Each structure stands twice: as structure tokens, then as C-alpha cells.
Amino acid sequence: MAHALIVDDDGDAAESLQALIAAEHFTVSVAYSLRDARRHVAMQPPDLVLLDLELPDGNGMDLFTDAQLVANSEIVLITGHASLETSIQALRLGAADYLVKPINLRHLQGVLSRVMRPAVLQAEVADLHAHLAQAGNFGHLWGRAPAMLPVYEQISRVAGTGVSVFIQGESGTGKELVAQTVHDLSRRRKKPFLAVNCGAISPNLIESEIFGHEKGAFTGADHQHQGFFERASGGTLFLDELTEMPLELQVKLLRVLETGRYMRVGSTQTMEADVRVIAASNRPLIQAVEAGKLREDLLYRLNVFPIELPPLRDRLSDVPLLAGHFLRAISAKEGQAKQFNAAAMERLCRYRWPGNVRELRNAVQRAYVMARGEIINEQWLPAADLPPPEGAEAGLAVDLAPVPVPPAVSAAFPTEPAAVPAESAGLGVPGLPARGVAGRESEPGPAPGASVPDALVLPIGCSMAEIERRFILATLQHYKQHKERTAAVLGISLKTLYNRLKEYAAADGGAASSSDAELGGRS
């Protein structure tokens, strides 16, 4: 049975709260001061701490100095005056949520139903970071470019809390995927995640859709309708393109966020709103306020924790990884595996993607449909608008010739186009077959014994580390020591490439150092 500790100097309030929590099958103890609280924690570490801010011997926030308590107990603040400053401070110190006095029973029940030790959430986040390094995705988001790493860190920090999040980014950058990942890492994960595009709903119906309506509330309302707040109860409500919501409805939304209560259209009965709201917009927020598209008070109520997504043009090194991910998903859905050839991947890497990740996904799907065989070339892809890497010959920017595959290796991996993920093993461009491993080539291989220009021959028995080393160095040499282009083609970050070259130099001693100096002449 889970154990809760109430830290509150108000004896009557603590006694009432103790009875409510005990009714939810918790064991409960009460402390009336910080000193008393520390004694209780030492005697029986709690799963949940409900912490008042004003105590006789100090501020409740002082209890956050106990690292063991913060790591092993979910802490929920109890305050008579909730404020933006309190929320931010609580988030920074490690609080999961806060309850406003007088405590609402339904809100309390929601908190109790979601109790989860912080250490469990931290372990899940650590697993996601490990998966990011291996496969290239963090939850629903794909990409290892440096511009995405702060986004993953912010998601890791805010997901386990109950504070509001405002996601900013251009259309097509993946704002809903950020919201979904936050929800999946939160304590609300077992409840619904509901995504709503405020710009896609008629202004005449949006209030009814968000709050619901009673039968007969207006012409055509022939039955009672549950709104988004009701359907997402206990979970997360994602309001995309919030600046498209009418201003008069923004006032009502603000009221719900401040009171936790709302009414269906045509009703006189209030309902409890136990929902975490995540909002998003593709407009700069200050400009939206100045243009009269967003209420300033609503902005400050929702923008407790802002997350800004970079456009795809600022992380072009992720294009091969994303394109490969989309192509694998489409191939699995359609039942026919297809692969990009090198020229197609080069074209994808040299386009600025004004429509961001959504445009890339659509381009991959169109190219898949138009490709007659198993190989997708550049014919149906957007025209490149970035110059080729300096010193590259026309049509040879990413055209590494296929590696001859010994029969023994081909027989070992007969079914998969890439038995080891190319993006994690460093064996090639995501979306292209790992031709030195799986035995499938995007182009016909050379005849036995024929010379292959720009080929990399890997003997059977090579370790994965040695294969990665040889392939990285060969790719770097092929691109005239241009590290940025090499990292983009390999689907790794520039930092990862530098780290690999440094490791190779250290392992090979002075000879490798001088070789690396020659290879690293340009960045």
C-alpha cells in the first residue's frame, strides 16, 4: 500500500486531508513542521508528499534540499495562492504538481491515481536517451541534430510535472509529436491524449466542441455532447494553433485554467476539469498578442514552460534519418520494400524544406508511389536549392559505390534490407540498404573480380566497431574531408563525427593523429 505524508501546520486542514487520502487506500502520516517532516521521512520514506508552503519553522520549499526525498517521492505543493512564480519554482525544484486550497476532491483523487516515483520516470527518460543514440528517435520524435537535443532535454524535465506547456514552431515541425511524447512520459499516460486543431473547427461550433453542449442548447443539438475537456479527463488536451481560437472563447478557456471548472453550452451545472493543457502555435507569440490573435493573460497562463522546435532547414543532418524512417513506414504499410539511391538522398539533403518535416514525409511518399521498381531515384524529388559540397563532381556528391558482398554474408541475412540499422551502426545513409551487411544493393553489383571505384571492401570477421571506423573514414575521404557533409550523409551529428575521429586518433597513436589531421583539414 502506498504511503503519503501531509506536511501542514493547519491541524484541521491536515486532518480532513488525511481522511480523504486514507479513503483512497493510502497509509497517511501528518507532520506539522519541517523538522517533524524530516523525522517522518527518515522513519518511513513516503511515496507522496503533500507539502504546504508556509510552515512554522520555514518555507515548504526547503524540504527540496533532501535529495533522497526528491528522487524517491512525488511532491505535490499545497497552497492557498497558486501563481506562475510558484509553478516555475516548484518545477525547478522537482515538484510534480500543486493543489489549491480549499482542495478539490476530484483534483486530489486525480493526483493520487497518478502517483509514480520520480526515479521510475527518470529511468524511462534515460532509456529514451539511450535509444536516441542507438536508433535516432526520442519517443515520437526523430533526429539527432544538435538543434534537437535541447528539445529532448526540455521534454525530459517537464513531462513528469503538471505544469502547462506552450510549443512554438513553424507548421510541419512536429509540435503534436512533442505533445504526445510529453504525455507518454507523464503520470497521465494511462488516460487519453486528445489533439485539437483550433483552426480546423468552425468558429460557430468550437465552444460546443471544447466544452460540450446539452440537448436542445441550440438548433440541431438533438443530444447531449461531450466536449474535449470531458473526453480528455485525467489526461492531456493538446490545443494546436491556439491563436486561431476566437478571443471570446479564449476568455472562457482562461477561466477554466484558473478555476478548474467549466459548463457545457446550455447547462447551469459546473463540471470539474482534470486535464493538463498543452498549447501550440506557428505564430511568434508576442506578434500574435500585438495582432489581437492571442490574449496576453492567456499567453502568460499557458506559457509556463515554452518549448521551441527548430525548422528542418536548421537540422538538415537529420534529413537522411527522417527520410529513411518515413520510407520504412510506407514500405511496411504498402507491402513492398523500396530504397533511395545515393543521388536521391543527395537531392533530399540539398533542399531547404520550407514545409519542414511534413513536406519531407509527403515528398518521400510521392517518390515511393512514382518509383517503378525497388529503387527510388531523384526524378520525382524536389529540386535541390543548396549548392553541392565544394570539390564534388556533378552527380557524385553522395554516390559511394556498393560494397561487394561475400555469399556467406548474404546468406546470413536473407530477409532484411538492413539487419543492423544503418543509422546506428554507421554503415550508411538511413533509407539506403546497408549493402555491405544485408546483401541487397540499390544498384547491380559488379562482376566478381571487377574493379569498383570508390568501393569499400570489408573482410568477413570484421568487428562492428572496425566496420564503422572504416566506413566513416572512407566517407570523409570521399567528400574531400568536408565534415559537415559527411555527418549529414551518415545521419550523425557533427559532434558525433568529431568524437569518432578523436577516438580513432587516440587508438592509432601518432600515425592516426597525423592522418586525422590530414582528414580534418576542413569542417
Q: Pick from 91, 115, 139: which residue ends a domain?
A: 115
Domain of residue 31, CATH code: 3.40.50.2300
CA 330 to chain centre: 21
**Hey, what amino acid is at 256?**
V
Question: Does 303 map to a domain?
Answer: yes
Tell me if 316 sits within 8 A of 174, measured CB to CB: no
Handedness of CA 271, 276, 281, 285 (dihedral sign): positive
Please indicate, yes or no, whether residues 47 and 171 belong to a single structural domain of this protein. Answer: no
Domain identity same for 378 and 322:
yes
Query: Does residue 349 fall inside a structural domain?
Result: yes
Do 350 and 468 fall within a single domain? yes
For residue 440, being part of any structural domain is answered with: no
The answer to whether residues 471 and 428 touch, using CB atoms and an 8 Å cutoff, is: yes
Domain carrying residue 369: 316-435+459-519
Instruction: Looking at the structure, tell me whether residues 277 and 371 fall in a common domain.
Output: no
Q: Do 330 and 280 belong to one domain?
A: no
Output the pLDDT for position 438: 34
Is residue 447 a part of any domain in this protein?
no
pLDDT given at position 517: 42
Instruction: Using the Cα atoms of residue 330, residue 332, residue 337 and residue 340 in order, give the sign of their dihedral.
Output: positive
- Per-residue model confidence (pLDDT) at position 243: 93
Looking at the fold, whether 194 and 326 belong to one and the same domain comes out as no
Instruction: Give the pTM.
Output: 0.66
214 lies in the same domain as 242? yes
Q: What are phi and psi of 201, to 5 degrees?
A: -110, 135
Residue ending a domain, among 98, 115, 132, is 115
Same domain, 11 and 160: no
The pLDDT, as a whole number, for residue 85 is 67
**Domain presence at residue 454:** no
Residue 444 domain-assigned (yes or no): no
Q: What is the CA radius of gyration of the chain?
A: 28
In this structure, is residue 443 part of a structural domain? no
Query: What's the number of domains the chain is made of?
Result: 3
Domain boundary among 278, 310, 342: 310
What pLDDT is stored for residue 323 in this prediction? 96
Clarify whether residues 468 and 336 are in a common domain: yes
Q: Are residues 305 and 356 in the same domain?
A: no
Q: State how far Cα 155 lies from the chain centre.
A: 6
- Is 22 a domain residue? yes
Spatial separation of the C-alpha atoms in residues 222 and 510, rounded to whole Å: 82
Q: Are residues 140 and 184 in the same domain?
A: yes
Q: How many CA atoms lie within 13 A of 5 on its CB side?
A: 25
**Can you give the CATH number for the domain in which 125 is found?**
3.40.50.300
pLDDT tens digits, the chain, 523 residues: what are they?
Answer: 789 999 998 888 888 899 999 998 899 999 999 999 999 998 998 999 999 888 898 888 888 888 878 778 888 888 776 555 666 676 667 778 778 777 878 888 888 888 887 778 888 889 999 989 889 999 999 999 999 999 999 999 899 888 889 999 999 999 999 999 999 999 899 999 999 999 888 888 899 999 999 988 887 888 889 999 999 999 999 999 999 999 999 999 999 988 888 999 998 888 888 899 999 999 899 999 999 999 999 998 899 899 999 999 999 999 999 999 999 999 999 999 999 999 999 999 999 999 999 999 999 999 999 999 999 999 999 987 776 555 443 333 333 333 333 333 333 333 333 333 333 333 333 333 333 333 333 333 334 333 334 567 777 777 777 888 888 888 888 888 888 778 777 767 777 788 788 888 877 764 433 444 444 444 4
Considering the domain architecture, whether residues 102 and 126 belong to the same structural domain is answered as: no
